[in-house]
Amino acid sequence: MSIDMHSHWRPAGLIELLRQRSEPPMVVTNDDGVEVFRSRGGDWMTTHDEAVAECFDNVEQRLAEMDELGISTGVLSLFGQFCWIERRPSEESVPLCRAYNDEVSEICKTHPGRFAAYASLPQWQLSDAIEELNRAMELPGIIGAQIPGNAFITLQEAEAYRPLMEAANKHKAIMFIHWGPRAGDDWPRTPSHADNFRRRMGTLDMQASLSANMVTLSMTDYLDDLQELRIHIHNLGGNLPYEIERMDHRCLLDTPNEDLPSTRFNKPNVFVDCNSFGPRSIEMGVSLYGAEKILLGTDGTAFGSDWSNKAIADADIGEDARDAILYDNAARLLSPAVELAPR
């Protein structure tokens, strides 16, 4: 059995609130008489419609998939297209985020051990995010929150989020840093007219951004006074496992008195998941971070689960490392805060 730390959720509990909205994200009836969820999507510059009947998740279906795939516990986090609720002005985002957090908490409460969840936080004003984090951390099953990667591209930007991270530290929360914009950020960074837009946006930009997040958190003193806080970054923390030798080379040339970068990605409270990567990348991730710092991540899909399970099985890392990635590391992170299903 395994624990999936990166399992996105499309919240049916928001449907009624989304019906009341007049701009994306919202639920409307299209010209064909079909009720659809309308969001920013597709090329991220235009609206995107998807039939309501197909774009919200069902708990029983997810449980059946987890059973089939050998996942004992899934950690739910808001699916990307729905994250636009976090970036709306406070009067819109606060009630939507509260409704989502209440929904996923109820799922955790109704199915003890099978689910935990990252809260969604309104991003328009940091004070709103702190207030909702404080409220959500009192709800059953909530272990922390998902927050946008753009807030941690550099140390200067991360410092602006320090009040939120200090609040999370008090709660001993796990904060899931996921690629994406803050409220008001220009998005996407990739020009919409570029060739191979999806490859550039969803891989090149994503991975470079996650690498920047890891440099901010691991190669500065940002986390030194946040020792009760745990950080989870997806997709192996960007490209670092296969760029670290280049980083060391440049360090020896440019700043030879500085500690080598390869020795600095060992912060005790920073973890990465292996979502979407293959066996060779996982091997390099284990070499850089150590197997004890890597978590299973699937994006919450059967395809992602099959892909990640095969990658971990095929990686030349040994059975102890395999067990650590599939279950043990996540169990140590989660067990102080939530009940886990028997392995």
- Specify if 27 maps to a domain: no
Our count of domains for the chain comes to 1
pTM score, whole prediction: 0.96
Residue 343 pLDDT level (bands cut at 50, 70, 90): confident
Instruction: Write down the pLDDT at residue 42.
Output: 45
Overall average pLDDT of the 263-271 stretch: 96
**Strand, coil or helix: 85:** helix
CA distances from 251 to 246, 262, 286 (A): 9, 10, 22
- Winning range, highest mean pLDDT, from 79-83, 189-193, 321-325: 321-325
- Specify if 66 maps to a domain: yes
Q: Over the stretch 61-70, which tens digit does the pLDDT of each residue have? A: 999 999 999 9
CA distances from 191 to 17, 187, 197, 198 (A): 32, 9, 8, 11
β-strands 294-295, 35-41: how paired? Answer: unpaired
Instruction: Write down the pLDDT at residue 249.
Output: 98
- Specify if 33 maps to a domain: no
Instruction: Write down the pLDDT at residue 44.
Output: 46
Instruction: Write down the pLDDT at residue 73.
Output: 98
The answer to whether 49 touches 36, Cβ cutoff 8 Å, is yes
Residue 209 pLDDT exceeds 90: yes
Instruction: Write down the pLDDT at residue 31.
Output: 87
- Specify if 223 maps to a domain: yes
DSSP 203: I
- Specify if 324 maps to a domain: yes
The CATH number given to whatever domain includes residue 63 is 3.20.20.140
Overall average pLDDT of the 266-281 stretch: 97
Q: Over the stretch 5-61, which tens digit does the pLDDT of each residue have? A: 999 999 999 999 999 999 889 999 988 889 999 987 544 445 678 898 888 999 999
Q: Could you tell me the two tokens for 199? A: 């490859």
Per mean pLDDT, which range of 34-48, 297-311, 315-329 is the poorest? 34-48
Give the containing element (helix H, strand E) for 60: helix 59-69
Q: Over the stretch 87-146, which tens digit does the pLDDT of each residue have? A: 999 999 999 999 999 999 999 999 999 999 999 999 999 999 999 999 999 999 999 999
Instruction: Write down the pLDDT at residue 297.
Output: 98
- Specify if 26 maps to a domain: no
- Specify if 24 maps to a domain: no
Residue 255 pLDDT exceeds 90: yes
Domain span at residue 118 reads 2-10+57-334
- Specify if 28 maps to a domain: no
